[in-house]
Chain A
Amino acid sequence: MQCQSCNKNEATIHLTEITDGVRTELHICESCAHQQGIIVKSQIPLNELLSNLLAAQPTEEELFGSSEQKQSCPQCGFTLRRFRKVGLLGCPYDYEVFEKSLLPLIEKAHNGQTVHCGKVPSKATVNTKKQIKLATLRRQLQAALRNEDYERAAKLRDRINQLES
């Protein structure tokens, strides 16, 4: 669609305005929008995003009545209903208790990632450290393959095999 204002550029901004029940549509390009003082809201506040995600999220559970919906955390008494209200969890254990319901949200907030990669407390058990190291190496291996850096990929694969054995 062409910009209705300059008839030159592609219209990328589509504005629908309803005034006194009359609906008008405007299709214009970015520079005309700018000239006309139409500001495109590009930044969604994090809280808003989160509550939208929360509101849109667990239809399946709601339909089938997941056990997590009714459950409260044995450690802190927290419920998912409360989480939807405040956007914050009650205790570290909630991540386990409500894992099924939280996972889609975690995935959305972190670009599809669901496994930690990075610093591990120095006091963590040897096994925890190994698991995280393996997850990190696997991710690096994927990246190396994507970039067709096969030399690095081979090295990473060897390190993964070594750690796993």
Chain B
Amino acid sequence: MKLTDISGDINEWFDGSGPLADIVISSRIRLARNLAAYKFLNRCSVAERAAILKKLRDILISLDLGDEVFYVSVDKAPILDRDFLVERHLISRNHATGKGPRGVVIARREFFTAMINEEDHLRIQVLKGGLRLSECTEQINHIDDMIEQKVDFAFSPRYGYLTACPTNLGTGIRVSVMLHLPALKMTGQIEKFFNAARDMSLAVRGLFGEGTEAAGDFYQISNQVTLGISERDVVSQFENSIIPEIVEYENAARNQLLSKRADVLDDKIARAMALLRNAHLISSQEALFLLSHLRLGINMHKHMGISTPAIDRLYTLSQPDGDARKHRGLSITTINRLFMLTQPAHLQLNHGKPLSPTRRDALRAKIIRSALSKDIPS
């Protein structure tokens, strides 16, 4: 199994399906675990790290996950491969740049990954498209049980699962939901969302987790408290109150944009389209930013039945005229594919060799131009 086997397409959780998928991109649950028989990583020798890695890798690749699994030795992988894994949300930035023997076990369909020797000995995560946290919980709990049959995790009756950093102590659970909130951003309400999240002890981060800027109006919201609240309660808070509320605010902001600033909205969508269809050099930041506006336009049409001149242009130009399959308008899948495949490491891996930033900007622009002209005839 090579990384290029998966790099040519989007992953399953990013295919635009799932509950509330117009706003909720993905649901992710991660558990932090450490082997009882070993010290935490920062006190482990290289030999001990290697022993932990071997033990956990052997267990993980033998698990029955209902999917093919493969292993990547992160410390030995080329930088481009590591960057690709980060872009794909299969490993964290920290894992890519860390030290010593470490690796990741990945399910072929990318719903499951297990980082070995990141900050803790083991960090397993389950990812699904849309708001599907209960399903993630059920699945990760089952996987955790299977692993626990074979090893003893560090656990204390008082503090729960023991982790290298006291901030993960207890359940070791991190619930993260990735959201697309362009209208809250455009209407200047995003700071309010940050403040409300902070008051609830939640963390808001950019597309790639800790320490990253929000790009393309994508935000990750996650819990910080892991002690004294059960896994079930955290998940239920997210699934039944926090996320539905944010979705409601975003929808309200979309309606507000439409009723008060339809011209601004239209301008942004039309400009985004014009630039994306005509640019010959485009940075990944600019592409994210512009594609975000197209994504908003398509979803407003699809989920709210909105019609404005610029939104209609994404469709009416391409209304079925005899051949429905030929002109079906711009789809969310096309936009998501562009988001994913035009990231720097994706571009280079799919191109077959490293490229300079300028060459990447040219290739990115070309891919976007061709995708947009295919779906929407000019």
Residue ranges of A at the interface with B (Cβ–Cβ < 8 Å): 30-31, 34, 39-40, 42-43, 45-46, 50, 75-78, 86-92, 94-96, 102, 105-106, 109-124, 128, 131-132, 136, 139
Contact = CB atoms under 8 A, between A and B. Distances in A.
23 contacts: A46-B167, A50-B165, A78-B43, A88-B41, A89-B164, A89-B165, A90-B39, A90-B42, A95-B169, A109-B167, A109-B224, A112-B228, A113-B228, A114-B228, A115-B159, A116-B227, A117-B228, A117-B230, A119-B171, A119-B230, A122-B149, A132-B160, A139-B228
B154 A111 contact: no
A45 B211 contact: yes
Contacts of A136: 230
Interface in B103-151: 119, 141, 144-145, 148-149
A97 to B, nearest CB: 12
B203 A46 contact: yes
Contacts, number: 147
A111 B40 contact: no
Interface of B: 34, 36, 38-43, 119, 141, 144-145, 148-149, 152-162, 164-167, 169-171, 173, 188, 191, 194-195, 198, 201, 203-205, 210-211, 224-232
B102 to A, nearest CB: 15
Contacts of B228: 110-117, 139
A135 to B, nearest CB: 9
Contact of A34 (B34, B188, B201, B225): B188
Best-surrounded residue of B41, B203, B204 (most CB of chain A within 10 A): B203
A116 B159 contact: yes
B148 A123 contact: yes
Given A43-B203, A121-B155, A89 B166 contact: yes
Contacts of B211: 45
A139 B158 CA distance: 14
Contacts of A106: 159, 166, 169, 227
